[in-house]
Amino acid sequence: MIENLLAKIDPSKENDRKLIARAFELAKRAHEGQFREGGAPYITHPLAAAEILADLKLDSPAIAACLLHDVLEDTAVTEKQMEKEFGQEITFLVKGVTKLSNLTYRQQEESNLKTQNLKVASLRKMLFAMAEDVRVILIKLADRYHNMATLQTCAPEKRQRIALETLEIYAPIAERLGIQVVRHPVDRGFGGSVKTLFRTALAAGADYIVELHPDNQYDPRFVPALLEKARGDDYAIVIGSRFLPPRLALEGGMPWWKFVSNRVLTFLNGVLLGVRLSEFHSGLRVYNARWAQQIPLADLSDDFALGFQLVGQAVEDGWKVAEVPASCRYFREASSNPLRGSIVYGLGTLSESLRVFMYRTGLGAARRVRSSAPPVDQTQR
Ligand SMILES: [Mn+2]
């Protein structure tokens, strides 16, 4: 269970590895019998958050504290015990995170106006905590990031509250740490988010746009390989494929029925588009800005269909699409759409590839005549 985390820690740092393993053991024991709302053992949560911090190369006390971040609040382990086993530094970090959690959870019981004031107050308090030790904030952001990634398992009311908190409290903090955040005041759907990504990156003068779904399924370490491929030739899109070779997806834990339907769908789409790829549905891609800036973005879907439509658009435009291997390990807890969603999505890809097929064979029209206005002008309709 802890292997993935330890694989991210320098093998020569024996003491760091021991400390992290010890923290994991205590957290696992303390959370024994507790479960996440989606049914997963509770320990999967601090573990996933700790992996995020390990990816960010935080030091071992921060990673250990992250593993222990819910222990003081939610288990029988006391502050005294923790200090005895892990010392002052780690206990201080855990206490800091616990304090921040209490701060934001309490406010929602208050009335409207009061809530507003408390939000500002808690924001300020978090900033004070940040001044004391920035690692507390980074642990809290990793905690929040994983909670957001697993939000689909929560009841609608809780979902809304956590999303709102993230929007109003955590996003501004991430910004103060120099992480650029783009907000939608209301949910614009998956496609709407990708469109914002395109517009933001194009407005910033990017040469390439990287799309990486934040559901922990894709490994950002493949991004350089995708970029290298993209720079090698005039591709519109380079896809990070989980199916190169195909059996990798099964070994990564993809359920067989999903694997089979994905294979069949990919074959049909490939034939219709005239593009031989091992998959079209990866959430890890690099787009060429020169292609991206002239596509009719506003005419594309605001929903999940957008991902495949972009490939169809590239084919329609006469641009090449390529892929490179990008194996992944996280199929289990990744955003497994309910079956109905998968079917709707699958049918959508078929209708899009049929449309492109008709266009290629002269039986159908292009999506639309392009406007000459620069794409940045379409921002925030
Ligand atoms: Mn937590």
Low-confidence winner among 98-102, 204-208, 232-236, 312-316 (lowest mean pLDDT): 98-102
CA of 88 to the centre of ligand 1 (A): 21
The CA 115 to ligand 1 mean position distance, Å, reads 22
Distance 117 CA to ligand 1 centre (A): 25
pLDDT at residue 103, as a whole number = 65
- Going from the Cα of 216 to the center of ligand 1, the distance in angstroms, rounded, reads 16
* Ligand 1 geometric centre to CA of 359 (Å): 50
Residue 302 predicted with pLDDT over 80: yes
| Residue 3 Cα to ligand 1 middle (Å) | 20
Q: Fill in the amino acid letter for 361.
A: T
101 CA to middle of ligand 1, Å?
A: 8
pLDDT of 208 strictly over 80: yes
Q: What's residue 379's pLDDT?
A: 40
For residue 70, report the distance from its CA to the centre of ligand 1, in Å: 5
- Specify the range with the lowest mean pLDDT, choosing from 157-166, 207-216, 352-361: 157-166
How close is the Cα of 15 to the center of ligand 1, in Å? 25
Whether 281 has a pLDDT exceeding 50, the answer reads yes
User: Tell me, what's the pLDDT at 378?
Assistant: 40
Mean pLDDT for 335-360 is 82
Query: What is the domain partition of the chain in residue ranges?
Result: 3-176, 189-378
Give the pLDDT confidence score for residue 69 in this predicted structure.
96
Strand order in the sheet with 208-212: 208-212, 284-288, 235-241, 320-325
How far does residue 46's CA lie from ligand 1's centre (Å)?
6
Q: Give the chain's mean pLDDT.
A: 86
pTM value?
A: 0.67
Say what the pLDDT of residue 104 is.
57
Q: How far is the CA of 40 from the centre of ligand 1 (A)?
A: 14
CA of 163 to the centre of ligand 1 (A): 15
Ligand 1 ion: nearby residues, β-carbon < 5 Å: 70, 143
Q: Give the residue, 99 or 85, on which the prediction is more confident.
A: 85
Q: How confident is the model at residue 375 (pLDDT cuts 50, 70, 90)?
A: very low
Give residue 51 CA to ligand 1 midpoint distance, Å: 13
Spatial separation of the C-alpha atoms in residues 188 and 172, rounded to whole Å: 20
Report how far ligand 1's centroid is from the alpha carbon of 192 (Å). 29
Which pLDDT value is given to residue 380? Answer: 40
CATH 3.40.190.10 describes domain 3-176: no
- Measure 110 CA to ligand 1 centroid, in angstroms: 23
Q: What is the pLDDT of residues 23-54, one digit of tens each?
A: 999 999 999 999 998 889 999 999 999 999 99
Give the per-residue pLDDT at 329.
64
pLDDT at residue 238 greater than cutoff 60? yes
Greatest mean pLDDT among 7-11, 162-166, 325-329 = 7-11
Helix 256-273 / helix 339-360 crossing angle, nearest 10 deg = 10
In angstroms, what is the span from residue 165 Cα to ligand 1's centroid?
Answer: 14
pLDDT in tens, 98-139: 887 776 544 445 556 566 666 666 666 666 666 578 899 899
Q: How confident is the model at residue 333 (pLDDT cuts 50, 70, 90)?
A: very low
Could you tell me the distance, in angstroms and rounded to a whole number, from the CA of residue 44 to the centre of ligand 1?
10
Weakest-pLDDT range from 2-6, 160-164, 271-275, 296-300: 160-164
Among the listed residues 317, 312, 310, the one whose alpha carbon sits nearest the alpha carbon of residue 287: 310
Q: Are 53 and 138 in contact (CB under 8 A)?
A: yes
